[in-house]
Amino acid sequence: MPTCIKCGNSTHFSCGHITRSLPWNNGTDSGLVALFNESSLVNMENHGASYEDLNNAWSNPHLYFNLCSICKSDMITWP
């Protein structure tokens, strides 16, 4: 599963190309954030993604989750 090169986070990532439907001043402004465990994508939190985006992100998370939710870096490696 993805790992942030900068901070080592391997569980919390967000999608940089889906913007949040409503501004939120307490965290990421991504419209789609994901939780991973050691082996797979386990949960997604939708704040503005379309149904189609949700399906695609679930099937192809490496195409969507390109930002670390912890340090906001885009230096993410995938296995």
Q: At closest approach, how far in Å is the CB of 5 from Zn ion?
A: 8
Among 9, 14, 28, 66, binds Zn ion (CB under 5 A): 9
Buried b / exposed e over 24-49, threshold 16 CB at 10 Å, is eeeebebbbbbebeeeebeebeebeb
Least CB distance to Zn ion at residue 20 (A): 19
Q: Cα–Cα distance between 57 and 59 in angstroms, integer?
A: 5
- Under the criterion CB under 5 A, does residue 75 sit at the interface with Zn ion? no
Residues engaged in binding Zn ion (CB under 5 A)? 4, 6-7, 9, 68, 70-71, 73
